[in-house]
Structure 1
Amino acid sequence: MPKITIKTIVFIFMLLLITTTVSATSKEDQRTALLHKTVTTLQELYSKQPKAKSVIEHSAGYAVFNNTGFKLLLLGHSHGQGVAVNRRTGKKIFMRMQEYQAGLGLGVKEYAVIFVFSNEDAWNSFVEKGWTFGAQATAAATDGVNGDALEGAVPISPGVWIYQMTTKGLAAELAVKGTNYYKDKDLN
């Protein structure tokens, strides 16, 4: 078996990051695709966690992000897009997510994160100020049959809960993460 050098691993990691850029489609097509993906993701959540439907229907707002993450040894990166919806006004804000990791891990993971805001102040803070999260440890694996698993809702701050579902892949990691959620300047 050939010996893999650190330079080779870094090259492969950088190549993966470069190849994940968004294709050149119109802004309207991108918005439509994100809205469709949001509906599909919520339907998946409701099928896995039926009580989530009532929670979201009675919330002040929610945000749905679909993300892809890569982890090779000590370096990791995730990126994604999503939509934040104010349930009272119907306002939709298109958003992005970036995450950088340092820590031990290996794998590729596609996953969805659904934020639920119990009050409008929490929703407004999320979309207007963005959000940054820090250190955490995660482990996720698929069931080997359907390719998905559900990690239950978790409170992350006053008035904010998240659901996370892995959709494909296998990942195990212990990492210090810097995750940033922010408005998508191109799509709003």
Structure 2
Amino acid sequence: MLRKLTLATFVLATLISVGCTAPGQTREDRRQHIDTTERQVLSELYRLQPDLQGDVSRAPGYAVFSNVNVNLVLASASTGYGVVVNNRTRERTYMKMGEVGVGLGFGVKDFRALFLFDSPEVMQRFVESGWSFGGHADAAAKAQEKGAAVSREVVIDGMRVYQLTESGIALQATLKGTKFWKDPELNYD
């Protein structure tokens, strides 16, 4: 049992250290990848929930994140990257994310998330502080175009989150903490 727990910890630590970076060789490649992912996620969510487009345009800002979640028996971890867009100034802040949790479950899930901010203050606090805590229960199964999982949940402090599962299978119930932070390599001018 100790050997399995050690392996699980190693896998989770590796995911966190490697998975936080968007694919690409240069800063511009990584920014372009994140921008493309943002457009794809918004397009897919608008197709599935057409009213969402108006909500996004009326919000002070939004964020789109891409991440991979791995749950191995008693521990889970997610890593990813994304962008926060200020609808008023069009300023883009590139960010990373990491999440760890404890709870029962098993699976790997690649999903995208859209955060809608209800006020400029909530958006600014997210960019500057970025913490989010909470519990999560999930059951999703999707492979390429087969299966689907779209969920909406209201998150504390003026943020609404929409998740779009890209691929994977997961059955989990976890308590977890998530940290979002500015990507120092991609936020330059």
Q: TM-score range by the shorter chain?
A: 0.7 to 0.9
C-alpha distance 63-51 of structure 1, shift in aligned 2 (>3 A): same
- 2:141 aligns to what SS in structure 1? coil
Task: Kindly report structure 1 stretches of 4+ aligned residues shifted beyond 4 Å.
Answer: none
Paired residues of 1:111 and 1:167 also in contact (CA < 8 A): yes
> TM-score, normalising length from structure 1?
0.87
Distance apart, 1:155 and its partner CA: 2.2
Q: Which residue of 2 aligns with 1:26?
A: 26
Q: Which residue of 1 aligns with 2:71?
A: 71
Q: Which residue of 1 aligns with 2:151?
A: 151
Q: Which residue of 1 aligns with 2:6?
A: 10
Instruction: Give, in whole Å, the separation in 2 of the partners of 1:8 and 1:119.
Output: 45
The answer to whether residue 118 in structure 2 is matched with residue 114 in structure 1 is no
Distance apart, 1:164 and its partner CA: 1.2
Distance apart, 1:24 and its partner CA: 6.5
Paired residues of 1:67 and 1:80 also in contact (CA < 8 A): yes
Distance apart, 1:131 and its partner CA: 2.2
Instruction: Give, in whole Å, the separation in 2 of the partners of 1:162 and 1:24.
Output: 27
Q: Which residue of 2 aligns with 1:138?
A: 137
Q: Which residue of 1 aligns with 2:161?
A: 162
Paired residues of 1:147 and 1:169 also in contact (CA < 8 A): no
- 1:108 aligns to what SS in structure 2? strand
Paired residues of 1:147 and 1:167 also in contact (CA < 8 A): no
Instruction: Give, in whole Å, the separation in 2 of the partners of 1:114 and 1:93.
Output: 14
Distance apart, 1:129 and its partner CA: 2.0
Distance apart, 1:13 and its partner CA: 5.5
- Structure 1 or 2, whichever has the larger Rg, is 1
> TM-score, normalising length from structure 2?
0.87
Instruction: Give, in whole Å, the separation in 1 of the partners of 2:15 and 2:124.
Output: 33
Unaligned runs of 5+ in 1: none
Q: Which residue of 2 aligns with 1:171?
A: 170
Q: 1:110-159: CA deviations, max 9, x gaps?
A: 1111100122111111112222223x13113136653431112x221343
Paired residues of 2:12 and 2:76 also in contact (CA < 8 A): no
Paired residues of 1:140 and 1:166 also in contact (CA < 8 A): no
Root-mean-square deviation (CA, aligned residues, Å) is 2.1
Distance apart, 1:16 and its partner CA: 6.3
Distance apart, 1:63 and its partner CA: 0.2
C-alpha distance 161-12 of structure 1, shift in aligned 2 (>3 A): closer
- 2:128 aligns to what SS in structure 1? helix
- 1:142 aligns to what SS in structure 2? strand
Instruction: Give, in whole Å, the separation in 2 of the partners of 1:24 and 1:40.
Output: 17
Moved more, 86-95 or 164-173: 164-173
